[in-house]
């Protein structure tokens, strides 16, 4: 029974610093590619036995301290009524892209146990198969990052359509965000009921905003999700499930991010972890923050960076080691295995 990760999320003392890695199940692992070679990505997400299998791969191979549900942040968008496809080169494509009242009105707030039952089935299966070996993290896209894919229809560089809707049709944006926020809230409740022991909100694109706009157009909806989840857990007498909030390009936004209400804050690599902790406050519980591409360094250089991050984290109330963003498909798996070992060894008191 390894509950080091959950202890760190709660700010309790741990024997060593726990580590998991964003996108730890994925194409850099030959074992993942073997499963993925048989089915397309969406089929993999929708087949609980296969999704559970690739979720557990990094626990066996890397010896990380937490499992993260294998799925995608765009699964709830499909459940809301949009068409979702994953293309080898282009990445995700959602259609028709949301640009007017008509398309937004057609979206529903889905019942997760109906429209996304395969996710909850995967969680239930995983809790059985993991049998307490490590805790299971559930997740959702944060409302804003989810909205960017719906409005742009795909990945974007400058998010023109999204910002144009925000600045030119603010009422339309709010009506869309209300639907996404309700969807995300119900989706995370269902994941927790199915057995998720922590949840992470991914706000990958939050860093495209000025602090004021971030607060108004992204963070306000995250706060709603978190407040609702906490109130619901309290009223249902569900033991508190740690909530992690990850924002890409964190540095300019920390004074805003720290008001999110989340238990743990994900930090990217563009800021020193001790600076981030200072700005969040001494009771900060942080997750991060190695540059994913630092995993292409020779192992003795990775080691220096691990020691540096562990040292900088010492002023925090809690630290969960992670990358500052997802692991890249080209990453040498041996370096990821070595990273986990280093974090465990050098943090042991
Ligand atoms: O972390 C994990 O191991 C759990 C699984 C997970 C995936 N996507 C699997 C995936 C999680 C937590 C995500 C989150 C996700 N998905 C985010 C937020 C985090 C981040 O990385 O910024 C975003 C923005 C997406 C949307 C998405 N999914 C894109 C843009 C792409 C295409 C680019 C890419 O990396 O391929 C995906 C596809 C995707 N999601 C893959 C995996 C393993 C690759 C699919 C394949 O096998 O071909």
Distance in angstroms (rounded) separating the CA atoms of residues 278 and 210: 21
Q: What is the pLDDT of residues 133-176, one digit of tens each?
A: 999 999 999 999 999 999 999 999 999 999 999 999 999 999 99
Domain assignment of residue 239, given as a range:
4-348
Average pLDDT over residues 236-260: 96
Left, alpha or beta for 5 (phi > 0: left; psi -120 to 50: alpha)? alpha
Distance in angstroms (rounded) separating the CA atoms of residues 312 and 310: 6
Say which residue the tokens 């991010």 belong to: 257
Q: What is the reported pLDDT for 89?
A: 87
Please say if 40 is a catalytic residue. no
Per DSSP, helices labelled H in 205-272 are 211-214, 220-235, 254-257
Question: Residue 242, exposed/middle/buried by CB under 10 A (0-12, 13-18, 19+)?
Answer: buried
Nearest residue by C-alpha to atom 5 in ligand 1: 70
Residue 88: pLDDT band (50, 70, 90) is: confident
Average pLDDT over residues 244-258: 96
Nearest residue by C-alpha to atom 36 in ligand 1: 91
Average pLDDT over residues 110-137: 98
Say which residue the tokens 């249902």 belong to: 236
Q: Is the CB of 36 under 6 A from ligand 1?
A: yes
Distance in angstroms (rounded) separating the CA atoms of residues 226 and 185: 8
Domain count, the chain: 1
| CATH number of residue 220's parent domain | 3.20.20.210
pLDDT over 90 percentage in the chain: 98
Residue 130 in tokens: 């993991």
| Neighbour-count burial for 4-27, b at 16+ CB within 10 Å, e otherwise | bbbbbbbbeebebbbbbbbbbbbe
Average pLDDT over residues 113-142: 98
Average pLDDT over residues 9-17: 97
- Is the bond into 96 cis (omega within 30 degrees of 0)? yes
Residue 15 gets which letter from DSSP?
S
Please say if 36 is a catalytic residue. yes
Distance in angstroms (rounded) separating the CA atoms of residues 140 and 151: 18
* CA 237 to ligand 1 center in whole angstroms: 33
Question: Residue 245, exposed/middle/buried by CB under 10 A (0-12, 13-18, 19+)?
Answer: buried
Please check the confidence at residue 1 and state whether its pLDDT lies above 90.
no
- How many residues does this entry show for the chain? 349
What is the average pLDDT value for the chain, to the nearest integer? 97
Nearest residue by C-alpha to atom 9 in ligand 1: 72
Please check the confidence at residue 349 and state whether its pLDDT lies above 80.
no
First and final C-alpha spacing in the chain: 20
Distance in angstroms (rounded) separating the CA atoms of residues 265 and 247: 8
Per DSSP, helices labelled H in the chain are 4-9, 30-36, 41-46, 48-62, 75-80, 101-105, 112-115, 117-130, 143-152, 160-168, 170-194, 211-214, 220-235, 254-257, 273-280, 299-312, 333-347
Q: Is the CB of 155 under 6 A from ligand 1?
A: yes
Residue 345: pLDDT band (50, 70, 90) is: very high
What is the residue-wise DSSP string for 145-187?
HHHHHHHHSS--SS-HHHHHHHHH-HHHHHHHHHHHHHHHHHH
Ligand 1 nearest-atom number relative to CA 141 = 18
User: What's the maximum distance between 2 C-alpha atoms anywhere in the chain?
Assistant: 59
Q: What is the pLDDT of residues 32-82, one digit of tens each?
A: 999 999 999 999 999 999 999 999 999 999 999 999 999 999 999 999 999
Q: What is the reported pLDDT for 75?
A: 98
Q: What is the pLDDT of residues 172-213, one digit of tens each?
A: 999 999 999 999 999 999 999 999 999 999 999 999 999 999
Please say if 27 is a catalytic residue. yes
Q: Is the CB of 70 under 6 A from ligand 1?
A: yes
């Amino acid at each position: 029974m390894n509950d080091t990760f959950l202890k760190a999320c709660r700010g309790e003392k741990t024997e060593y610093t726990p580590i998991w890695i964003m996108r730890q199940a994925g194409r850099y692992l030959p074992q993942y590619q073997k499963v993925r070679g048989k089915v397309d990505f969406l089929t993999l997400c929708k087949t609980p036995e296969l999704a559970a299998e690739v979720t557990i791969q990094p626990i066996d191979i890397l010896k990380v301290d937490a499992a993260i549900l294998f799925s995608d942040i765009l699964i709830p968008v499909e459940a809301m009524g949009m068409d979702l496809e994953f293309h080898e080169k282009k990445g995700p494509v959602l259609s028709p892209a949301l640009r007017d009242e008509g398309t937004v009105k057609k979206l529903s707030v889905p019942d997760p146990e109906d429209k996304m039952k395969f996710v909850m089935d995967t969680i239930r299966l995983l809790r059985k198969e993991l049998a307490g070996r490590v805790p299971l993290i559930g997740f959702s896209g944060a409302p804003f990052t989810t909205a960017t894919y719906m409005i742009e229809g795909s990945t974007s560089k400058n998010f023109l359509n999204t910002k144009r809707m925000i600045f030119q049709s603010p009422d339309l944006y709010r009506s869309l965000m209300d639907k996404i926020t309700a969807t995300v809230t119900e989706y995370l409740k269902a994941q927790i009921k199915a057995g998720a022991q922590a949840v992470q909100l991914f706000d990958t694109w939050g860093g495209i905003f000025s602090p004021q706009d971030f607060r108004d157009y992204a963070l306000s909806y995250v706060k709603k999700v978190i407040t609702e989840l906490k109130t619901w857990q309290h009223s249902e007498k569900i033991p508190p499930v740690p909530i992690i909030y990850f924002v890409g390009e964190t540095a300019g936004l920390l004074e805003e991010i720290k008001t999110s209400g989340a238990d743990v804050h994900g930090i990217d690599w563009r800021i020193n972890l001790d600076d981030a902790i200072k700005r969040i406050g001494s009771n900060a519980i942080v997750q991060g923050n190695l540059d994913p591409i630092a995993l292409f360094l020779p192992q003795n250089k990775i080691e220096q960076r691990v020691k540096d991050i562990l040292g900088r984290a010492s002023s925090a109330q809690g630290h969960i080691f992670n990358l500052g963003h997802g692991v890249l498909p080209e990453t040498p798996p041996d370096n990821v295995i070595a990273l986990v070992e280093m974090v465990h060894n050098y943090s042991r008191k």
